[in-house]
Amino acid sequence: MTTQVTGSGVNFNGSTSGTILLTQPAVAGSNTITLPAETGTLRSTVSTGTVLQVVNYQTGAVATGATAIPFDDTIPQITEGVEFMTLAITPKSAASLLIVEVVCMGSPSLIDWVTVALFQDAIASSLAAVYNYIGTNQAAPLGFAYSATSGSTSARTFRVRGGGTTTTFTFNGASSARRMGGVSSSSITITEVVP
């Protein structure tokens, strides 16, 4: 590949044929383009909805916990319930949208209101929560999605906590035991997209 600087910009000649002309904008002052320090294909445009990355955590392991999440009109706190899943992500852009999808299988030891809540890092209040009234040792999926602008390219960890109000909560099972051999599983999926 050869390059040639012209009055209208920089001309890149392809290794076999064709050219790419990189033109300067018709504005006063100086502008800077910083190329990424990675190997790959440089896109000329990135459209809304383009997926930048997907990270996922899935488990069929059973776990139990008896720490309550009150069924009231308060935001669940990071000290309530039991943490069953975590997943970290480092956003590629501060302007991107993070979509967090949670599926949690669980069962209370007695008929109870069961809550599953999403937290970020060590922030006390949950970002999102879902609840259901579930019968004694009856398992049910609790799922929801949450989205927000990434805001920075700093790593962050999302945490999923669950619990009943007065009972023992069995994660990925019932009666403190696993069900379906581990294929009835819970998961967190985080998708980073261009807004």
What dihedral do alpha carbons 128, 65, 80, 152 form, nearest 10°? Answer: -50
Please tell me the total count of domains within the chain.
Answer: 1
Asked whether residue 32 is domain-assigned, the answer is no
Asked whether residue 30 is domain-assigned, the answer is no
| Greatest Cα-to-Cα distance within the chain, rounded to the nearest angstrom | 78
AA letter at 98? L
Identify the bridge partners of residue 89 per DSSP, sorted by sequence position: 156
pLDDT (0 to 100) of residue 160: 98
pLDDT (0 to 100) of residue 45: 66
Helices (H) and strands (E) in the chain, counts: 0, 15
The parent domain of residue 113 ranges over: 51-193
Asked whether residue 20 is domain-assigned, the answer is no
Identify the bridge partners of residue 27 per DSSP, sorted by sequence position: none
Asked whether residue 39 is domain-assigned, the answer is no
pLDDT for 21 beyond 90: no
Asked whether residue 4 is domain-assigned, the answer is no
95 and 48 in contact (C-beta within 8 Å)?
no
Model confidence pTM above 0.85 = no
Asked whether residue 179 is domain-assigned, the answer is yes
Question: Higher pLDDT residue, 30 or 144?
Answer: 144
Q: What is the CATH number of the domain that holds 178?
A: 2.60.120.1340
CA distance 150 to 95: 6
Asked whether residue 46 is domain-assigned, the answer is no
Asked whether residue 3 is domain-assigned, the answer is no
CA distance 181 to 132: 24
Stretch 24-42: mean pLDDT: 69
Out of 82-91, 143-152, 164-173, 177-186, least confident range: 177-186
